Amino acid sequence: MNAITNGATIEIVATGEQYHTLKDWGLAIGNNDYIGDVEQENYYVDVAGADGFLDFSEAITGRRIFKNRPINVELGGKKPRNDWDIFISDLRNLVEGREIKIIFDNDPGFYWTGRATVKSFDRNRELGTFALSVPKADPYKYNVADSTEDWLWDPFDFDTGIIDEGTEITLTTADSTKSYTIVPDLMPFVPVIQVSQLGAAGITMTAAGETYTLVKGKNRFADMVVDQEDVTLTFKGQGTLTIRYRRGSL
């Protein structure tokens, strides 16, 4: 609890600005339990005259449902005594109520996300401490190699990270047909089909017996979830598209 761990990179999602807690702010992380326990959605039914409860937690969706989890990073450092109030005010202006991404130095292949708040600020002469908290963070952490976004080589961990760049498909004629199979993971996800070029014949996509008409730009269909089984996407028409998706881990 009192051991000083590595720092973390904080990214403001709305602006893309990034700050390192130690390099940019001179603040060290003072706790090791900054990732809280995940909250799982459970549904139990009490049956009269029967021992225990009936567990219907996975009956509707067929999988586990996770709601959120708290992240609480205790930060501390040394600054001139009169600088602390200004620093905390500037930090609150920067992150309070904003969606942020957090990449911890000891787990650089993944990021956590949620809305931040600054709390419990205290100061004793030059030494100051406070908590950068995300009370309801996403229950999953995501690969920095998230295929739905651009990513950099520098923070990627080749031992623990997974690259999901998706794939680019080109259909050369109006009758062209190509297929791509997506393998499920721990976290269910909805793939994004990004169409960069669309021919006069257009492009249709078939998945699990359903046919969708694609438009130029971003295509996302909420009912097409990659969950427990492989999903094969079959494209017909003329144009160029990219399949993108992101994977998560608890």
Indicate whether 134 and 182 sit together in one domain. no
Q: Pick from 143, 178, 200: which residue ends a domain?
A: 143
- Same domain for 131 and 59, yes or no, is yes
**Claim to verify: residue 17 and residue 91 sit in the same structural domain:** yes
pLDDT tens digit sequence for 22-78: 999 999 999 888 998 877 766 656 667 666 666 655 555 555 677 889 999 999 999
Taking the model in full, what pTM does it have? 0.61
211 domain-assigned: yes
User: End of a domain among 76, 111, 143?
Assistant: 143
Which domain does 97 fall in, by range? 8-143
User: How many domains, the chain?
Assistant: 2
Q: What is the pLDDT of residues 140-191, one digit of tens each?
A: 888 776 544 443 334 434 344 444 556 788 988 888 888 888 887 766 777 8
Same domain, 36 and 120: yes
Contact 131, 72 (CB under 8 A): yes
Q: Does residue 173 share a domain with residue 97?
A: no
- Give yes or no: residues 30 and 129 share one domain: yes
47 lies in a domain?
yes
Tokens of 107: 């787990």
Instruction: Check residue 148 and give its pLDDT.
Output: 45
64 and 136 inside one domain: yes
Is residue 161 one of the residues assigned to a domain?
Answer: no
Contact between residue 19 and residue 103 where contact means Cβ atoms under 8 Å apart: no
pLDDT at 28: 92
Is residue 206 scored above 70 in pLDDT? yes
Report the percentage of the chain scoring pLDDT > 90.
Answer: 34
Q: Indicate whether 105 and 199 sit together in one domain.
A: no
pLDDT at 10: 94
Q: Does some domain include residue 231? A: yes
The pLDDT score that the predictor gives to residue 156 is 37
Same-domain pairing of 139 and 15: yes
Provide the CATH number for the domain around residue 123.
2.40.30.200
